[in-house]
Structure 1
Amino acid sequence: MIGRIDEVVFDCADPGALAHFWADVLGGTPQRRSDDWHYLDPPGWTRVAFQRVPEGKVVKNRVHLDVEVDDIPAATVQAEALGATRVGEIHADTAGSFQVLRDPEGNEWCVVKPA
């Protein structure tokens, strides 16, 4: 083992806005380290941070968060009310079900319900 995850960092245009969005999704209190760096510590999970970068998002994420929920349709509606965008329909297979979403800056993530 080399080490452990310290935090998951999102590159973004507006760190404060994304920190508030993700705090509403995951829990925790948004914290400001500087105008260019905000973060939150969701209960029971590692730190999630947001750093300002000059370039915009142009392609699909190579890594994304799966957020476990009890009710995918209800969680999707709640996420959309916070500023998320739904991508396609709910997918289901033997492992469970998931709905792809995008956060306010277009980062893909999923609400999931294991089988």
Structure 2
Amino acid sequence: MHHSRLCALVIDCKHQDIKADTLFWSGALGKPVVSFDEDGDGKYAELATSADELKVLLQRVDHEPRVHLDIETDDLEAEAARLEKLGASRVAKVRDRWWVMQAPSGHRFCVVSRQRESFGPHLNTWD
């Protein structure tokens, strides 16, 4: 048995100045900045959200700008396999912490390790 839930809205920014992009989205969404450099590599920033809201992350990317969703889980392999049975495909594993996947619709999304201490009330349980 494993668990998963929708956890994050990720704004993929092709612009190289993630700080400027973060300030824009902070102002647009009314969410304060938690970090301009979440992992220390200059690629990820985070806006503050309440525990019952989706996390809002900004990610510096090389592809065209878009928005994607993250699904967090306590078992990466089990969740990726479950989604494959639904028709998704694995694209790439990143840092042993998440899978980039593609839905049958062509949309990319990520399956990530648990992001918050508590999964909260919107948790799915899978066999």
| TM-score, with structure 2 as normaliser | 0.38
| TM-score, with structure 1 as normaliser | 0.42
Q: With CA pairs under 8 Å and 6+ residues apart, which has the higher RCO, 1 or 2?
A: 2
